[in-house]
Amino acid sequence: MAYTSREFRATSRQAFAALVDPETYPHWLVGTHRIRDVDGTWPQVGSQFHHVVGIGPVRIADTTEVLDCERDALLRLRVRARPFIAAVVTFRVLGSARSCVVSIEEEPALRTIGNIVRPVMDPAIHVRNHRSLRRLATLLEDATSVCD
């Protein structure tokens, strides 16, 4: 499992609001290019958003589905970029009135495949998620400074 965390100068509510708003993803989640559609029931369990992801000129349209959601604390998603990638991503948010910590745990959806690719993929996923959290911190901190 690839695990990454970062402290933010934002409340847990502000951080979680960005995590459950798919329209923010192209601004901070490395590899996300565009959100095509969001189910009206989002972020209820089973709801999806439809996106375009990729690296460089390679772009794939696919979906992300909510597996679990606990307000201001946890968001677990099944992410896909077919034909090769399916993963479970868990965001956890812990915080106070002045700051919070956001963590990302990412693992392949199929454990058998995950056990084979994990030694190669986990370091790359860790780096991508570290960059994503850095971009999310900038997004949140810029938004909170406007309101101060």
| 136 contact partners, CB below 8 Å, separation of at least 6 | 6, 8, 15, 18, 28, 29, 102
Mean per-residue pLDDT over the chain, rounded = 89
Express the helix, strand and coil content of the chain in percent, nearest 5 each: 35, 45, 20
What is the percent of the chain with per-residue pLDDT over 90, rounded to a whole number? 65
Q: What is the SS3 assignment for 40?
A: coil
Assess contact for 8 and 99: CB atoms under 8 A.
yes
> pTM for this structure?
0.89
pLDDT in tens, 126-142: 899 999 999 999 999 88
CA distance 59 to 34: 10
pLDDT in tens, 1-40: 789 999 999 999 999 999 999 999 999 999 899 999 999 9
Q: What is the SS3 assignment for 130?
A: helix
CA distance 40 to 113: 33
Confidence of residue 117 (pLDDT cuts 50, 70, 90): low
Domains and CATH numbers, the chain: 2-147 (3.30.530.20)
pLDDT at 145: 56
